Structure 1
Amino acid sequence: MRIITGSARGCRLKTPKGWNTRPTADRVKESLFNILGQKVMDRKVLDIFAGTGNLGLEALSRGAKACVMVDQATADIMKENVRLVRMQEKAVVRGGDVFAELGRFAGNREEFDLIFCDPPYHIGLWEKALLTIDRSEGIMARNGILVIEHGADENEIPELSSLVQVMNRRYGHTTQLSFYQWREYVEEVEA
């Protein structure tokens, strides 16, 4: 696993040894960042269920101004990867429970412009994270984008009150990316 482009291009990231991990494939990651384009520049990023920090570090390499990466199981690996790509001044690693951290962000009104959510598939975590963000002020900025990576067969979207799916892309038989924004913001932009 490596950083594809930007200031840390080509840096190889450490991965947990012996774990049954499912890192974002390079072609999916490249497609994701091609879709986002300039929307990464100067953004405050949140990467939940971050694993190695792959998505958050790629965003920093492409010009994001700051990134908070959260994963209870892999915080030490993420810290090593932050050092490897020399992003210590822009990256914060949190090793707590993702949902407890989301609660803290909401309470502190730490709004993020871009949120990546890439939990293990088929155990309900992406749905729970989507609902948490949908029902919480103070996590995602008004013009923010939430990107969820989930299984290609995970198509039951929970009932949302504030967010709307603005795009969905499928990659083979295993993965899809869903993009969400605030309904009011999308309606205002489209008007």
Structure 2
Amino acid sequence: MRVIAGLHRGRRLLGPRGQAIRPTSDRVKEALFSILGERTTGARVLDLYAGTGSIGIEALSRGAAHVTFVEADRQALRLINSNLEQCGLQQSANVCACQVSQFFRRATQWSGPYDIVFCDPPYQLTPELITMAQEWNAGWLADDAVVIIEHGKKAEIPQTLGLLSQVKRYDYGDTALTRFHVTAKATQSR
């Protein structure tokens, strides 16, 4: 695994041992940041099911202002912290050691509202994420926020998730990315 572009381009990141953590492939990571384009610069990013932290670190390398990493697995948390330290990015990040469901039950916003939310749950947890997303609070998201879910190609992803509307789905082999934006109705109700 490596950082693809930006300030830390080419930097190698520590990866997992075994199959417990499934990092996003470089091909899908490149596609993700192509989809996001210049939106990453200055963004506040939420990386759910962060794994090794490679997506959030890529965002920081490309100019994101801050990333909040949410991860429960101890091995993954060690990898995130080691990779942040190796890149000297600890000051631009919060690492939340908890389940995603716990993160959203807490009253603290950590460092939101978020401009970009990336969700890469273990594929068997995609339905659980979809259920949680139906109830996300509009205050956690910036008015023009983009939410991207990485999931298995065969997963059924609804057109709307609470205050989010699906914009487009991108398929890459067995992996897919689905992009959502905050609905105009949600931003008017703030």
Identify whether the pair has TM-score above 0.5, normalized to the shorter chain. Answer: yes
Residues 62-106 of structure 1: CA distance to partner in whole angstroms, max 9, x if unpaired?
000000101010212110010111111101111112111123267
- For the pair 1:55 / 2:49, whether they are aligned, the reply is no
How many equivalent pairs are there?
185
Deviations 1:7-29 (A, max 9, x none): 11111111222233321111111
> How do 1:4-153 residues align onto structure 2 when only pairs under 5 Å count?
4-73=4-73, 74-104=76-106, 110-123=112-125, 124-133=127-136, 136-153=137-154
Matched residue of 2:161: which SS?
Answer: coil
**Partner letter of residue 97 of structure 2?**
G
Partner of 1:162: 163
Superposed displacement of residue 180, structure 1: 0.7
What is the distance in 1 between the residues matched to 2:5 and 2:54? 12
The 2-side partners of 1:37 and 1:132 are apart by: 28
Local SS of the residue matching 1:24: coil
CA distance in 1, matches of 2:153, 2:55: 19
Instruction: Give the AA of the match of 2:148.
Output: V
Residues 146 and 181 of structure 1 are in contact (CA less than 8 Å); yes or no, is this contact kept in structure 2? yes
- SS for the counterpart of 2:46 is strand
Calculate the TM-score normalised by the size of structure 2. Answer: 0.88
Give the conservation status (yes or no) of the 8 Å contact 1:11–1:84.
no
Deviations 1:134-165 (A, max 9, x none): xx122111111101000000024275342100
Alpha-carbon distance in 2 for matches of 1:48, 1:145: 14
Seq. identity, %: 36
Q: Is residue 138–residue 186 contact of structure 2 (8 Å, CA) maintained in 1? A: no
CA–CA separation in structure 2 for the residues paired with 1:4 and 1:151: 23
CA distance in 1, matches of 2:31, 2:186: 22
Distance 2:107 2:115 in 1: 13
